[in-house]
Structure 1
Amino acid sequence: MNQTASPALRPGTKLAYLIIAVATGLLMPIQSRVNGALGVQLDDPFAAALVSFVVGLVALTLIHLVFPGPRRAAQSIPRVIAQRRFPWWYLGAGAVGAFVVVSQSTAVPIVGVALFTVSLVTGQTMGSMVVDRFGFGPAGPRKISALRLIGALLTLVGVLWAVSPRIITDVELGSLLFPMIFTLIVGVLMGYQSASNGVQAQAYGNPLTATLMNFVVGTLMLGLILLVRLPLVSTDGAFPTGWWYYIGGLLGCVFIGVSAFMVRHLGVLFTGLCMICGQLLGSLLLDVVVPTAGSQIGFATVAGTVLTLLAVGLASVSGGGSAKTRRR
């Protein structure tokens, strides 16, 4: 697998990419709220995840049919796979996306948004650092400098601080251990997902096509799981009539597509840190504009979010360029 370094970004371009990545991260808490509500209505998190993926797959298919660029890139998929432009297991990124949606519908009702966010973000940071260091992404291995490592650690501190009021009020943490570990593992795999999508986007020549493959794989996997589970689960749920219940898949398209584009230019770790900032800002905005029964906005929430933003700024100016060694 050939991996080449991306050209150095000018400060203005890097700032623009940073803003786009943070803005894209804003979509994650909205998607979590939508998919969680859909899961409650359908009374099955896997069914909700499948609906979300089918909506996204339909939208991406229409885009590839209508626009020449994505259509040409989609036509190259069989050739790219046959030529082994990337390891076959990179296609598993779609399965990770499916489990992200499932975790939104299953873990949040059990552990709450606070602990879910801590577990997911911790996993994201760990996974992004590993795949960046070992070069699973399209830019190859990237150095993890001391300042960049400090920035990643401060991100975790900021997230913990932001959600600390809710963590303190949660008792019997032992009973929450399994869903937290599940969410942590999903978060770690999100680093691999971002790297795999970036490599696929480079191979196909279009990040939308990498996103399409994500939704194809994720939809097939969720469909099989649902068929196996169908005789064992209740079918009392009903499809809601509100249009907003069905936008989770569209938000996922944007999130995955932008991530696939950004990791080539910013690296997996820095892209992940920017999107984590967006997740925190989005959660704050949702709790202020559309609060739920468990919403808590206080000094720790705001201060933790600010600390995370500063940590991303530190990671941005600390280098983290590509390692000299390249795979040929």
Structure 2
Amino acid sequence: MATPPVPVVAPTPGTPTPSTPDPTTAPARPAPRWLVTLPLMLGGGALIALQSQVNGALTGRLGTGLRASALAALVSFGSGLLVLSLLALLHRPTGRGVAALGGAVRRRRIPLWLVLGGLGGAFFVASQGLAAPTLGITFFILCFVAGQAVMALVVDQRGWGPNGVTALTRSRVAGAVLAVLAVAVSGAGLLSAVPVTGSLLVLAALPLLAGAVNSAQQGVNGRLAAHVGPWVTTWNNFWVGTLGLVLFLAVALLRPGHLTGLPTEPWLYLGGLCGIGFIWASTVTVRVHGVLVVGVFSVAGQVVTAALIGLLTGPGRPGPTTWAAVAVSLAGAAVVGLAQRRRHAG
């Protein structure tokens, strides 16, 4: 028997058809990824500033000399590795991912160089211990950011990061310059007191190289995260970085200095948690924005957070140069952020 035809009912005037969703009931479109991840990049920079404060205080409590800074870095990385290893034990997908990463490297499905990103953090700490006492922390950070910005342009332009080739534009160069300028403005008074000598310029090569390695590390982390996810990538960074810092501490113990024992204040051991947050945030956001944008926003987050720390805990209010540095850093973030928006829109 033939199936009777289904009657066609004409829609009531004003009633939306199935192909035309009712604007009053249709769900709102989610915000684009480039917009959602902007505060995540600023937050990552804020965590770097907090970690620097914590690790600096921990170094002073541990003793003197290079061995104290090396041990503080190892405590920071080691505590972060402990937290992430507990996560891998309690969270089955992360644990399986960590185990799978080791197998993939042994079978050469993932190249060895892709898991060495954590050495970038270890090299930064080592260069800080070797160069910062002579250069001063402000000049050290200035050189680090300069190396980071230049290498970030190269990594994105060559397509070494996870989001492909990003052309070199005036907006991107301007954003990188503003990031370096913000650090220079924030420490203008301290920089003027640094005597420029030949040995100082040679020593400045260490933070410059550390900044370049940091940008390469972010690109490597983004590519590894495409295979194993951000949490496994973060665990791998702390694992590799901790191994590197064990060797660095062994060398540092041969240098002058002394250790006084571990302090008892719990807040001095929060550097590892700050590092976890920063590495995870940069691993997630670099796949959306590229290395340069993450770096410029990170610098802005550091400058703003340092100003807020000075405002809340310092003996006096931050001066005009501090707020000028905040404005310059945010301007740099706005320049590269708007350029990234146009890129996504295109």
TM-score, scaled relative to structure 2: 0.82
Identical amino acids, percent of aligned pairs: 33
Q: Which residue number corresponds to residue 204 of structure 2?
A: 180
**CA separation of 1:59/1:147 partners in 2, compared to 1, >3 Å: closer, same or farther?**
same
Shift of 1:235: 4.2
Unaligned runs of 5+ in 2: 1-28
Q: Distance in 2 between matches of 1:232 and 1:312?
A: 41
Shift of 1:16: 2.1
Query: 8 Å contact 2:48–2:278 — kept in the other structure?
Result: yes
Q: 1:124 aligns with which of 148, 154, 167?
A: 148
Q: Which residue number corresponds to residue 227 of structure 2?
A: 203
Is residue 331 of structure 2 the alignment partner of residue 310 of structure 1? yes
Q: Distance in 2 between matches of 1:14 and 1:49?
A: 33
Q: 2:312 aligns with which of 282, 289, 292?
A: 289
Q: Which residue number corresponds to residue 22 of structure 1?
A: 42
Unaligned runs of 5+ in 1: 1-8, 323-328
Q: Which residue number corresponds to residue 39 of structure 1?
A: 59
Instruction: Write out the 4+ residue segments of structure 1 that deviate beyond 6 Å after TM superposition.
Output: none
Q: 2:292 aligns with which of 258, 269, 272?
A: 269
Shift of 1:109: 4.1
Shift of 1:159: 2.5
* Residue identity opposite 1:318 in structure 2: A
CA RMSD in angstroms, aligned pairs only? 2.4
Q: Distance in 2 between matches of 1:231 and 1:155?
A: 37
Q: Give a deviation string over 1:282-306, Cα, whole Å, max 9, x none.
A: 11112222227xx882212211221
Shift of 1:270: 0.6
Is residue 251 of structure 2 the alignment partner of residue 238 of structure 1? no
* Residue identity opposite 1:313 in structure 2: A
Shift of 1:267: 0.9
Shift of 1:201: 1.1
* Residue identity opposite 2:167 in structure 1: K
Query: 8 Å contact 1:94–1:217 — kept in the other structure?
Result: yes
Q: 2:112 aligns with which of 68, 72, 88?
A: 88
Q: 2:98 aligns with which of 74, 77, 82?
A: 74
Q: Distance in 2 between matches of 1:84 and 1:105?
A: 35
Shift of 1:313: 1.0
Q: Distance in 1 between matches of 2:94 and 2:208?
A: 34
Structure of higher CA gyration radius: 2
Query: 8 Å contact 2:33–2:288 — kept in the other structure?
Result: no
* Residue identity opposite 2:195 in structure 1: E
Shift of 1:108: 4.1
Query: 8 Å contact 2:149–2:176 — kept in the other structure?
Result: yes
Q: Distance in 2 between matches of 1:122 and 1:229?
A: 27
**CA separation of 1:265/1:84 partners in 2, compared to 1, >3 Å: closer, same or farther?**
farther
Q: Give a deviation string over 1:12-63, Cα, whole Å, max 9, x none.
A: 5322211111011101121112112222222322111111111011000001
* Residue identity opposite 1:305 in structure 2: V
Shift of 1:182: 1.5
The worse-fitting range, judged by mean Cα deviation, of 269-278 and 81-90 is 81-90
Q: Secondary structure at the match of 1:26?
A: helix
Count of residue pairs brought into register by the alignment: 310
* Residue identity opposite 1:189 in structure 2: V
Is residue 213 of structure 2 the alignment partner of residue 189 of structure 1? yes
Q: Secondary structure at the match of 1:123?
A: helix
Q: Distance in 2 between matches of 1:299 and 1:234?
A: 38
Q: Secondary structure at the match of 2:326?
A: helix
Shift of 1:126: 1.3
Q: Which residue number corresponds to residue 160 of structure 1?
A: 184
TM-score, scaled relative to structure 1: 0.86
Q: Distance in 1 between matches of 2:222 and 2:302?
A: 20
Q: Distance in 1 between matches of 2:269 and 2:128?
A: 15
Shift of 1:179: 4.5
**CA separation of 1:54/1:161 partners in 2, compared to 1, >3 Å: closer, same or farther?**
same
Is residue 273 of structure 2 the alignment partner of residue 250 of structure 1? yes
Q: Distance in 2 between matches of 1:228 and 1:104?
A: 15
**CA separation of 1:301/1:62 partners in 2, compared to 1, >3 Å: closer, same or farther?**
same
Shift of 1:315: 1.0
